[in-house]
Structure 1
């Protein structure tokens, strides 16, 4: 004799587990940090959790660490820090960065270096991003902007290796004095 209540409960549990897995799939993603481009904030071979819905109701902010599709090969994902927002003017010389005329004081950068002096006026729906390890210049300094549609999400927590578990610092205080470029 079959127990219809037990069968119904098993179906409900399976349905809830599947619903949970689908929800996680569309809201969170793991990202493997492969190189030293974001050191000291993120170490090579660490893993971060990416919030894929972080920018549904608000845009990225300066200091956010984002994962995005590389503009010249969308099959590759990169992780870098947002420095400039749409409408901002960002200027660099060999060691310093100014956003809308305010010099950035970046506590997360150990070796401030830029390959060339340059100025950007960031277009609508584009973001300027840089590595924390400025010796790695495969970022906006060499290829300009990340389109908003290419952003996968906001990196929020380092979860592996487990000894490095921590929330990712966006260094809000470093960007507080910058006024909007609009």
Structure 2
């Protein structure tokens, strides 16, 4: 009898063990499925956030050329803020990206120098602004330019409502408003916000402020 009871006890324990293994297997399977489901949810939520941000709020650009040296170098990777100008006006000194008026397939990067309703004169290597604050003209001090850079050429432009005059920081190697004229606000894609490459120059960018 003792032997039979032992066999019965062993059989009962084996049955309970089988049931536990099945339950454990079920739990494990459910855990993997739940993990995959949650992972899919996270990916979908991330895409729902990233896609609008990528196409409507910020956009990446590579600098192509030397027209903004020394501030921005060739092949630097920049992130552009596309939303700010929907709620505020561009400010003198901000660096902006826009489509080249003579070939919209090309994107240009330049600095805003002249604002709406101002007169701007490029002459004798300098930029002179005429506005309500400076009716007699003010020669612009531009500390972001290299010491050996002068603003070549001649321009005398009266900017209208919503018009902006842009120049590259490398004035001797820049195709800008001296050639193609002023830009309208709605032609500005956005302003430079962050430098993502190279690694030693990564960071949020501060635009030079003239204070007027």
- Please give the range of the TM-score, normalised by the shorter of the 2 chains: 0.7 to 0.9
Q: How many Å separate the matches in 1 of 2:121 and 2:183?
A: 17
Higher share in helix: 2
Do structure 1's residue 18 and structure 2's residue 47 form an aligned pair?
A: yes
Query: Higher relative contact order by CA 8 Å / sep ≥ 6: 1 or 2?
Result: 1
Normalising by the residue count of structure 1, what TM-score does the alignment of the two structures yield?
0.87
Note if contact 2:127-2:151 (Cα within 8 Å) is conserved in structure 1: no
1:145 Cα deviation from its structure 2 partner: 1.1
1:76 Cα deviation from its structure 2 partner: 0.9
Rg (Cα) greater in structure = 2
Higher share in strand: 1
Q: How many Å separate the matches in 1 of 2:124 and 2:141?
A: 15
Note if contact 1:70-1:150 (Cα within 8 Å) is conserved in structure 2: no
1:17 Cα deviation from its structure 2 partner: 1.4
Q: How many Å separate the matches in 1 of 2:204 and 2:170?
A: 19
| Counterpart residue number, 1:108 | 144
| 119, 122, 147: which one aligns with 1:89 | 119
- What is the CA deviation profile of residues 115-151 of structure 1, one whole-angstrom value per residue up to 9, with x for unaligned ones? 22x2111122221100001112410011111122221
| 70, 76, 89: which one aligns with 1:40 | 70
Tell me how many residue pairs correspond in the alignment: 174
Q: How does 1:1-182 map to 2 (within 5 A)?
A: 3=30, 6=34, 9-25=38-54, 26-100=56-130, 101-110=137-146, 111-116=149-154, 118-172=155-209, 175-176=210-211, 178=212
Normalising by the residue count of structure 2, what TM-score does the alignment of the two structures yield?
0.75
Q: Secondary structure at the match of 1:50?
A: strand
- What is the CA deviation profile of residues 13-63 of structure 1, one whole-angstrom value per residue up to 9, with x for unaligned ones? 232111122132121111111111001100111111101112111011100
Q: How many Å separate the matches in 2 of 1:33 and 1:20?
A: 26
Unaligned runs of at least 5 residues, structure 1? none
How large is the RMSD of aligned CA atoms in angstroms? 1.9
Unaligned runs of at least 5 residues, structure 2? 1-25, 131-136
